[in-house]
């Protein structure tokens, strides 16, 4: 990981998610009315979240899970409902506070257990977070350059004992055209630039990474829903 480029990009994302887009993400991750563009993103993200959850045991009792880049904690709360002990970390204090609030509401409604999710503000690749049975990074590494992306995967793998689940933006012609047309969207419907990468290139870079020699790709699934395109990748210990 090139520390300078990683820190610069992380700072940009922190400012975007904590200031520019906090209200938009609050609405996007709720059932509040949104634009048709954001509605397709909401639906696509729901499909991806269900895919990642389906790749883990239905009963997560006794398992520790890291939700790396948790945002408002939708995956965290659902994993906790399945019995997991969750650490949810994000760089945006605003989104983390919203996640805490929503988890408290779920507890009050009887849909979650008190203390099942430990929300934290910080770097999702911080090794001080400890080790986990499952590590999930949904749409969290998509904004970084390929070398930084692979270094982040290696850092996350170092914290995973059973399974690492990540998503990336697949480089496809439709997605490229969509990003170009996205420059014409209203400001409220824009998001930070992502770094599309071909599946073959990502796997090749991972295979060359010394810190990932003990890991191998597992299942993969692309979710394409209008203005949302992302690809899930399971990474497993050899």
The pLDDT tens digits of the residues spanning 156-196 come to 999 999 999 999 999 976 555 555 555 444 444 445 678 99
Burial of 117 (0-12, 13-18, 19+ CB in 10 A): buried
Domain spans in the chain, listed from the N-terminal domain onward: 3-237
| Distance separating alpha carbons of residues 80 and 103, to the nearest angstrom | 10
Residue 121 pLDDT class (50, 70, 90 cuts)? very high
CATH superfamily, domain 3-237, is Vaccinia Virus protein VP39 (3.40.50.150)
Backbone angles phi, psi at 186, to 5 degrees: -55, 150
**What does the alpha-carbon distance between residue 5 and residue 151 come to, in Å, rounded to a whole number?**
12
Express each pLDDT in 68-77 by its tens digit: 999 999 999 9
At how many degrees (to 10) do helices 199-208 and 146-157 cross? 60
pLDDT per position as a tens digit, 81-101: 999 999 999 999 999 999 999
The C-alpha atoms of residue 175 and residue 196 are separated, in whole angstroms, by 8
Is the overall model pTM greater than 0.85, yes or no? yes
The closest alpha carbon to 227, from 181, 193, 165, belongs to 181
pLDDT of residue 12: 87
């Amino acid at each position: 990981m090139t520390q300078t480029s990683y820190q610069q990009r992380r700072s940009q994302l922190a400012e975007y998610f904590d200031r520019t887009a906090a209200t938009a993400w609050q609405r996007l991750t709720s059932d509040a009315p949104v634009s048709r563009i954001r509605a397709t993103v909401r639906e696509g993200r729901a499909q991806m979240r269900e895919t990642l959850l389906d790749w883990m045991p239905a009963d997560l009792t006794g398992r520790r899970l890291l939700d790396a880049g948790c945002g408002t904690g939708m995956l965290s709360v659902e994993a906790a409902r399945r019995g997991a002990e969750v650490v949810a970390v994000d760089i945006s204090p605003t989104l983390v506070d919203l996640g805490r609030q929503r988890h408290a509401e779920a507890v009050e409604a009887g849909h979650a257990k008190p203390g099942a999710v430990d929300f934290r503000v910080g770097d999702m690749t911080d090794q001080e977070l400890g080790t986990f049975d499952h590590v999930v990074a949904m749409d969290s590494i998509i904004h970084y350059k390929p070398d930084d992306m692979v270094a982040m995967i290696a850092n996350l793998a170092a914290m995973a004992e059973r399974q690492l689940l990540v998503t990336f933006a697949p480089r496809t012609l439709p997605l490229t055209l969509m990003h170009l047309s996205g420059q014409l969207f209203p400001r409220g419907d824009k998001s930070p630039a992502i770094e599309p990468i071909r599946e073959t290139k990502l796997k090749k870079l991972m295979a060359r990474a010394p810190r990932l020699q003990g890991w191998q790709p597992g299942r993969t699934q692309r979710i394409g829903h209008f203005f949302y395109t992302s690809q899930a990748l399971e990474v497993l210990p050899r």
